[in-house]
Chains A and B, each alone.
Chain A
């Protein structure tokens, strides 16, 4: 439980310096923007005039932006935002226009700020920067600690600082409540995705398992990130909990068949098979707490707290 205090401090302390400042010289010579960049970097959360038009090009920034933007402020979200397999808030996305992450679409929409992921669209982002657009890149969340910071940072960008602060604080208090409710020995678990890909160390699901009080056997065996994990090894290690995927689309793929492999079924009653709420662990956002809750619920079904009593946080 006390494995990562340093990282926790960092994540909860304050949002990272806004990325826009790195590019302030390229802000197209627009004095007001540069000024706002400077203010943002000095105060961390300056209530400058909120941008009127914001465009999101990435499914992760889409969801944060939809949760925090004022009505009419968010011009469009990416197509993946309405994919229920990847986007927890796919229902919200129905009321927004969609973009395909193309630079041309940004040129037509002329947003004040573009929010996107650091690893997606690596050709589009430099092009838009060169054209003078203000781009806010978000790193892909791989631990729960960074999520409150990401929420606050999106709040700052959108001029919705207080709403973001509330959302981040709720996430933090929910998380510490779940962490404090753990008791007994940690059960073994694995998240076994399509095609037999396990979520190893350094993945968002691994972080959620740590918070919920589960031992991720993939991480313990040295698997890092999303890695192919032999089905035989899963049966041999016999974890208490197997987190199985739900199909990402209505049309079938062989990749989905692994979840119904007879070997997994043959593990019997001793192994709990669960699903995480769809889209709850594919991006960093307040909804990741739903994945942690599902894992904590599964843990409670295996380790009962009455016997040992919860220990103090």
Chain B
């Protein structure tokens, strides 16, 4: 499949699930009425529901899924590690911890801007820590185990911070920060996440040539004229911006960045640089589909979307681990 037709096919998938997401919800409007209300606007109930509740939800599904898929592809390429993924190596969990620490302490008032600010700090810190570990020990498993430890630690500290909050609702929000959800978000969330994600995507795309060269090893890449320090900075910044923004608005949604690059890699030329865009589109389609499914499955008590992505992703992860070990030994 040519790269062009792959991207077209994935974009069509994203479009279909985006539309389905817009048409799914407890208020029953037909597809035609819904779309007319979305376009026409006004202050009718249907227009408010479509514009203020469903559109932000669908946009966030697309943006968060894209960020996680693209970050997963970039991390797998940069670390040359098939198991790398923002959720598994602790970037999402650390972003959650950062967001929770800044927001629930009330330092920034009740401002929603505290969320991305804290999440970015957490994400940057975790990526830097992981790079330091990866630089010292080249082994695939060392990095993954360190990431698992980091995820547990950040999760525990997130729970602790929420339990210590005097607000009685804070402790119920542990599940949001550890599993993620797109329920009842608003355009405010879209607006605060979009610029950060766009900047992150730009950095990742800019590093795609370096990622391709790195498949030959660091020395060869350097001899090809790749500035490794600059490449590292771009990947760290790009992943932190995208995952930080995604986590700030949707909590830590796992496994999207793991599954999609692996599913899509066989359809590409297997160069990490050219995988970023298709993996992002695949991630967007997967998260939109999962978010439709959680709304349809148990309408009365909506599941957190991270539960569903984990149900899909965790068995996939186990299978990957088994396969990686077989190849390694």
Contact of B167 with A232 in the complex, beta carbons under 8 Å: no
Contact of B26 with A230 in the complex, beta carbons under 8 Å: yes
Residue of B nearest to A257 (CB): B112
Residue of B nearest to A252 (CB): B110
Q: A49 near B: Cβ within 8 Å?
A: no
Q: B319 near A: Cβ within 8 Å?
A: no
Within the assembled complex, what's the spacing in Å between the Cα atoms of A243 and B319?
51
Q: A247 near B: Cβ within 8 Å?
A: yes
Given contacts A236-B27, A255-B172, contact A262 B188 (CB under 8 A): yes
Query: Interface residue tally of chain B, by bracket?
Result: 35 or more
Residue of B nearest to A227 (CB): B300
Within the assembled complex, what's the spacing in Å between the Cα atoms of A258 and B189?
13
Given contacts A250-B106, A253-B165, A262-B186, contact A268 B27 (CB under 8 A): no
B-contacting residues, A247-289, CB 8 Å: 247-258, 261-263, 266-268
Contact of A230 with B25 in the complex, beta carbons under 8 Å: yes
Determine the chain B residues whose CB is within 8 A of the CB of A267 once the complex forms.
43, 48
Q: B18 near A: Cβ within 8 Å?
A: no
Q: B78 near A: Cβ within 8 Å?
A: no
Closest CB-CB distance, A214 to chain B, in whole Å? 20
* Residues of A bordering B, CB below 8 Å: 85, 194-196, 228, 230-233, 235-236, 238, 247-258, 261-263, 266-268
Determine the chain A residues whose CB is within 8 A of the CB of B103 once the complex forms.
252, 254
Q: B168 near A: Cβ within 8 Å?
A: yes
Q: B194 near A: Cβ within 8 Å?
A: no
Given contacts A248-B169, A253-B167, contact A262 B52 (CB under 8 A): yes
Q: B138 near A: Cβ within 8 Å?
A: no
Q: B301 near A: Cβ within 8 Å?
A: yes
Residue of B nearest to A229 (CB): B26
Given contacts A228-B301, A252-B110, A262-B187, contact A236 B167 (CB under 8 A): no
Within the assembled complex, what's the spacing in Å between the Cα atoms of A254 and B53?
16
Contact of A232 among B53, B169, B188, B300 (CB under 8 A): B53
* Residues of B bordering A, CB below 8 Å: 25-27, 43, 45-46, 48-49, 51-54, 103-106, 109-110, 112, 165-170, 172-173, 176, 184, 186-188, 300-302
Q: List 25 A-B contacts (CB under 8 A).
A: A195-B169, A230-B25, A231-B53, A232-B25, A232-B27, A232-B53, A232-B54, A236-B27, A236-B45, A249-B165, A251-B104, A252-B104, A252-B109, A253-B104, A253-B165, A253-B173, A261-B184, A261-B186, A262-B188, A263-B48, A263-B52, A266-B43, A266-B48, A266-B51, A267-B43
Determine the chain B residues whose CB is within 8 A of the CB of A238 once the complex forms.
45
Determine the chain A residues whose CB is within 8 A of the CB of B187 once the complex forms.
262
Within the assembled complex, what's the spacing in Å between the Cα atoms of A251 and B108?
10
Within the assembled complex, what's the spacing in Å between the Cα atoms of A231 and B49?
9
Determine the chain B residues whose CB is within 8 A of the CB of A248 once the complex forms.
167-169
Most buried by A among B110, B167, B302: B167
Contact of A250 with B166 in the complex, beta carbons under 8 Å: yes
Given contacts A228-B301, A238-B45, A248-B168, contact A254 B173 (CB under 8 A): yes
Determine the chain A residues whose CB is within 8 A of the CB of B188 once the complex forms.
262
Determine the chain A residues whose CB is within 8 A of the CB of B301 once the complex forms.
228
Within the assembled complex, what's the spacing in Å between the Cα atoms of A194 and B168?
11
Within the assembled complex, what's the spacing in Å between the Cα atoms of A293 and B187?
36
Contact of A263 with B53 in the complex, beta carbons under 8 Å: yes
Contact of A252 with B186 in the complex, beta carbons under 8 Å: no
Most buried by A among B43, B168, B187: B168
Contact of B173 with A232 in the complex, beta carbons under 8 Å: no
> What 7 new A-B contacts, CB under 8 Å, besides A233-B27, A235-B27, A249-B167?
A230-B26, A232-B27, A238-B45, A255-B169, A257-B110, A261-B186, A266-B43
Determine the chain A residues whose CB is within 8 A of the CB of B25 once the complex forms.
230, 232
Determine the chain A residues whose CB is within 8 A of the CB of B110 once the complex forms.
247, 252, 256-257
Closest CB-CB distance, A263 to chain B, in whole Å? 4
Within the assembled complex, what's the spacing in Å between the Cα atoms of A235 and B25?
12
Determine the chain B residues whose CB is within 8 A of the CB of A253 once the complex forms.
104, 165, 167, 169-170, 173
Determine the chain B residues whose CB is within 8 A of the CB of A263 once the complex forms.
48-49, 52-53, 186
Determine the chain A residues whose CB is within 8 A of the CB of B302 once the complex forms.
228
Within the assembled complex, what's the spacing in Å between the Cα atoms of A263 and B51?
8
Determine the chain A residues whose CB is within 8 A of the CB of B48 once the complex forms.
235, 263, 266-267
Residue of A nearest to B108 (CB): A252
Contact of A268 with B43 in the complex, beta carbons under 8 Å: yes
Residue of B nearest to A245 (CB): B169
Closest CB-CB distance, B253 to chain A, in whole Å? 16
Closest 7 CB pairs between A and B? A255-B169, A263-B52, A252-B110, A249-B167, A230-B26, A232-B27, A253-B169
Residue of A nearest to B177 (CB): A254
Residue of A nearest to B25 (CB): A232
